[in-house]
């Protein structure tokens, strides 16, 4: 038998086995889920993705014991849009989310949207959001009204300020000489942000150097409290978003503060994994580690550009998934997957149904997570409409604009003389991961195909757009 025939038979066998899973293994075991989501961490900011100058032993071990994704994408290169897509399984434009919300914003994630927490809650999961929310800070938009049983964290980015209309809890802890009267009368103070529990401010301004530790402690407490039933904890870390803050125990561990922060985040991952093992929950729990967009202060590795760019360094992110006994150890997946795939995948694994009354853009990537032979990405084309827009299809990355003309912030991309480039860009990522050689003129047939794909995507977003949440 030829090698190609063997691979074909193995592939068919794998798919047949997968088809039976919902009625056997998965029907009996609803996995616990821990979803860790860092802020502004680059593709090259984890040891197993090439980080240098600091160590991430727990994340590296996660990769050895699970699966590392090399071509994993977010839906928006900045905060709010990315988080909306993660939690709804839909493009952020489809749910009418702005790329970034501010403390004076009057909108948020529409409570009529169905989040992954709501999907899992229907299956009996205990749910918690612990960390940075950034999908609307007004009560109707907060996690407790979006499927989460509890919330502990900051409502938006750590470089922002407090909305003076925020509800203060009885016994709120006020630091730095702050008073309730001053909160209502003072002009905004950047980098002074409130800490919420539920829908109330319990501390202001929060000591940001303590957040990673406190988020970790809250997560461990939640896991211990809910160990007897399935649970879902969403842990969106505040760090390493600017301004950078690090816990006292990690100061000076490396040559710079960013490295210290990454070692503290790695410690946090280790504490959670240790808790799962101590409680004999290790093989019952899927742990996902990824980030919301590219970096501002870390490393993009070999990828072009950084946060806020549609180039790879802005939207391709590290992703590690671990579930002992279910996800094979030491595997690397180089197929295209994305944060929008989280909701339909977790719905499948929990035995839930993904929302059927609205369009969900994500796909079930459980076959990829299993490392099935010859399994391909469910995304024939992955489109992003952020800024100038892009399409990833197989090895190709297409941009419907000329280099330097995508209306990006100054410094967010490498500027090229207009005369040297056609009006569109096309890169072969299999041979040119850094996107240095524009092949648009050499492959007009690919350009025409992906132009049509992108236009259809924009038309679909316009046709099937859902209303925003407003106060």
Same domain, 231 and 208: yes
Cβ pair 220, 36 in contact under 8 A: no
- Domain presence at residue 91: yes
Domain-terminating residue out of 345, 369, 393 = 369
| pLDDT value for 373 | 80
- Domain presence at residue 461: yes
Domain of residue 426 covers 382-470
Round to the nearest angstrom and report the end-to-end CA distance of the chain: 66
Same domain, 334 and 405: no
- Domain presence at residue 376: no
Structure tokens, 368: 């990829």
Same domain, 255 and 349: yes
Q: What share of the chain is helix, strand, coil (3-state, %, to 5)?
A: 35, 15, 50
| pLDDT value for 29 | 82
- Domain presence at residue 374: no
Short-list 317, 448, 454, 436, CA closest to 391: 454
For the chain, the farthest-separated pair of C-alpha atoms sits apart, in whole angstroms, at 80
Same domain, 154 and 261: yes
CA distance 98 to 73: 18
Same domain, 313 and 457: no
Same domain, 348 and 389: no
How would you write the pLDDT of the chain (471 residues) with one tens digit per residue? 444 444 344 444 444 444 444 433 444 489 999 999 999 999 999 999 999 999 999 999 999 999 999 999 999 999 999 999 999 999 999 999 999 999 999 999 999 999 999 999 999 999 999 999 999 999 999 999 999 999 999 999 999 999 999 999 999 999 999 999 999 999 999 999 999 999 999 999 999 999 999 999 999 999 999 999 999 999 999 999 999 999 999 999 999 999 999 999 999 999 999 999 999 999 999 999 999 999 999 999 999 999 999 999 999 999 999 999 999 999 999 999 999 999 999 999 999 999 999 999 999 999 999 999 889 999 999 999 999 999 999 999 999 999 866 544 444 444 433 445 469 999 999 999 999 999 999 999 999 999 999 999 999 999 999 999 999
**SS3 call for 273:** helix
This prediction's pTM: 0.92
CATH number at residue 280: 3.40.720.10
CA distance 275 to 295: 29
Report how far apart, in Å, the C-alpha atoms of 132 and of each of 151, 169, 237 are. Answer: 10, 19, 6
Same domain, 14 and 36: no
- Domain presence at residue 450: yes
Same domain, 327 and 191: yes
3-state secondary structure 139-174: HHHCHHHCCCCEEEECCCCCCCCCCCCCCEEEEEEE
- Domain presence at residue 151: yes
Structure tokens, 119: 């999907």
Same domain, 352 and 396: no
CA angle at 265 for the pair 213 and 203, rounded to the nearest 5°? 35
Name the DSSP class of 23: G
The residues annotated with a catalytic role in the active site are: 79, 134
Half-sphere exposure of 213 (CA within 13 A, CB side): 11
CA distance 374 to 335: 10
Same domain, 254 and 112: yes
- Domain presence at residue 50: yes
CA distance 271 to 283: 16
Same domain, 51 and 165: yes
- Domain presence at residue 377: no
CATH number at residue 459: 3.30.1120.10
Residues 6+ apart with CB under 8 A from 178: 204, 205
With tokens 């493009």, the residue in question is 91
Domain-terminating residue out of 369, 403, 422 = 369
CA distance 236 to 39: 7
Same domain, 42 and 15: no
What is the domain count for the chain? 3
Q: What are the strands, taking DSSP E only, across 369-423? A: 382-384, 390-393, 396-399
């Amino acid at each position: 038998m030829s090698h190609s025939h063997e691979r074909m038979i193995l592939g068919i066998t794998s798919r047949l086995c997968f088809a039976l899973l919902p009625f056997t293994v998965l029907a009996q075991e609803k996995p616990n889920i821990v979803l860790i989501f860092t802020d502004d961490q680059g593709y090259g900011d984890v040891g197993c993705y090439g980080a240098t100058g600091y160590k991430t032993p727990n994340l590296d071990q996660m990769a050895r014991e699970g699966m590392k994704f090399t071509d994993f994408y977010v839906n928006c290169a900045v905060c709010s849009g990315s988080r909306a897509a993660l939690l709804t399984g839909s493009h952020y434009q489809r749910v009418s989310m702005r790329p970034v919300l501010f403390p004076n914003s009057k909108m948020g994630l529409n409570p009529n949207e169905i989040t992954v927490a709501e999907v899992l809650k229907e299956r009996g999961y205990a749910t918690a959001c612990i960390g940075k929310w950034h999908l609307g800070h007004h009560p109707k938009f907060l996690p407790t009204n979006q499927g989460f049983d509890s919330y502990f964290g900051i409502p938006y980015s750590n470089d922002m300020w407090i909305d003076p209309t925020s509800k203060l809890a009885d016994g709120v802890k006020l630091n730095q000489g702050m008073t309730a009267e001053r909160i209502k009368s003072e002009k905004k103070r950047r980098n002074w942000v409130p800490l919420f529990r539920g829908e109330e401010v319990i501390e202001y301004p929060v000591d940001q150097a303590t957040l990673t530790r406190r988020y970790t402690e809250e997560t461990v407490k939640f896991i211990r409290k809910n160990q007897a039933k399935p649970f879902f904890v969403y842990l969106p870390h505040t760090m390493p978003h600017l301004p950078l803050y690090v816990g006292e125990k990690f100061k000076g561990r490396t040559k710079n503060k960013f490295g210290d922060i990454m070692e503290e985040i790695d410690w946090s991952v280790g504490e959670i994994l240790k808790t799962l093992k101590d409680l004999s929950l290790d093989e019952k729990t899927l742990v996902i580690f990824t980030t919301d967009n590219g970096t501002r202060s870390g490393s993009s590795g070999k990828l072009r550009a950084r946060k806020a760019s549609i180039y790879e360094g802005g939207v391709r992110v590290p992703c590690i998934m671990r579930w002992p006994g279910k996800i094979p150890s030491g595997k690397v997946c180089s197929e295209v997957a994305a944060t929008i795939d989280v909701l339909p995948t977790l719905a499948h694994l929990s035995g839930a149904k993904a929302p059927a009354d609205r369009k969900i853009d994500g796909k079930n990537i459980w076959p990829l997570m299993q490392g099935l032979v010859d399994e391909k990405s469910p995304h024939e084309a992955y489109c992003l409409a952020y800024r100038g827009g892009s399409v990833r299809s197989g090895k190709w990355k297409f941009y419907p604009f000329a280099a330097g003309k995508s209306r990006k912030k100054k410094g967010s991309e490498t500027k090229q003389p207009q005369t040297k480039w056609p009006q569109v860009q096309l890169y072969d990522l299999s041979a040119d991961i850094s996107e240095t050689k524009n092949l648009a003129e050499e492959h007009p047939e690919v350009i025409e195909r992906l132009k049509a794909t992108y236009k259809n995507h924009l038309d679909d977003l316009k046709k099937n757009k859902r209303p925003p949440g407003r106060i």
